[in-house]
Amino acid sequence: MGAVVGVPAVLIAYVRLGEGLIGKIKGKKQLNVRPWLWLFPAFILLIVFLIYPVVNTFILSFKNASSSSFVGLKNYIFIFTNHDMLIALKNNLLWLVFVTLLTITLGLLIAVLTDRIKYEAVAKAFIFLPMAISAVAAGVIWKFMYEFKPKGTEQIGTVNAFFTAVVPNFEPKAWLFNPPINTYALMIVYIWMWTGFCMVILSAGLKGIPNSLLEAARIDGANEWKIFWKIIIPTMSSTIIVVATTMVINVLKVFDIVYVMTNGTLGTEVIANRMYKEMFNFHDFGKASAIAVVLLLAIIPVMLVNIKRFGQRRG
Q: Which of 53, 76, 82, 98 binds another protein (CB under 8 A)?
A: 53
Instruction: Confirm or reject binding of residue 163 to another protein (CB under 8 A).
Output: no
Task: Please state, in angstroms and rounded to a whole number, the distance separating the CA atoms of residues 75 and 83.
Answer: 14
Q: Mark the segment that binds another protein (CB under 8 A) among 71-79, 94-102, 171-179, 275-283.
A: 275-283
Close Cβ partners of 275 (under 8 Å, ≥ 6 residues apart): 288, 291, 292, 295
Closest listed residue to residue 198, CA positions, set 236, 247, 238: 247
Q: Which of residues 217-246 bind another protein (CB under 8 A)?
A: 242-243, 246
Q: Which of 89, 63, 87 is nearest to 74 (CA)?
A: 63
Radius of gyration of the chain (CA): 25
Do you know the residue count of the chain?
315
| C-alpha to C-alpha distance for 61 and 72, rounded to whole angstroms | 9
Question: For residue 258, which amino acid is it?
Answer: V
The reply on whether position 31 binds another protein by CB under 8 A is yes
Q: Which is nearer to another protein, 54 or 216 (CB)?
A: 54
Asked if 48 is part of the footprint of another protein (rule: CB under 8 A), the reply reads: yes
User: Within the chain, how many helices (H) and strands (E) appear?
Assistant: 16, 0
CA 174 to CA 178: how far, in whole Å?
6
CB of 155 to another protein, least distance (A): 7
In whole angstroms, give the CA distance from residue 254 to residue 170: 32
Member of 62, 142, 175, 190 binding another protein (CB under 8 A): 142
Q: Which of the stretches 89-97, 170-178, 190-198, 229-237 binds another protein when contact is defined by CB under 8 A? A: 190-198
Beta-bridge mates of residue 63: 70
- Please tell me whether residue 183 binds another protein under the rule CB under 8 A: no
Restricting to residues 93-132, which ones interact with another protein according to CB under 8 A? 110, 113-114, 116-117, 123, 125-132
| Binding of residue 42 to another protein (CB under 8 A) | yes
Task: Look at residues 140, 146, 180 and name the one whose alpha carbon lies nearest to residue 268.
Answer: 180
Task: Please say which residue, 32 or 178, places its beta carbon nearer to another protein.
Answer: 32
Nearer to another protein, 21 or 97 (CB): 21
Give the number of residues in contact with another protein, rule: CB under 8 A.
Answer: 103
Binder among 43, 70, 228, 229 for another protein (CB under 8 A): 43
Does residue number 32 form part of the binding site for another protein (CB under 8 A)? yes
Q: Does 28 engage in binding with another protein (CB under 8 A)?
A: no
- Termini Cα distance of the chain: 42
**Exactly one of 65, 71, 231, 296 binds another protein (CB under 8 A); which one?**
296
Point out which span in 76-84, 92-100, 139-147, 213-221 binds another protein (CB under 8 A). Answer: 139-147
Secondary structure string (H, E, C) spanning 65-80: CCCCCECCCHHHHHHH
Torsion sign (Cα): 227, 229, 235, 241: positive
Nearest to 273 by CA among 292, 286, 246: 292
The nearer residue to another protein, 62 or 142, going by C-beta atoms, is 142
Q: Is 306 in the site for another protein (CB under 8 A)?
A: yes
Minimum CB–partner distance for residue 28 and another protein (Å): 12
Q: Is 26 in the site for another protein (CB under 8 A)?
A: no
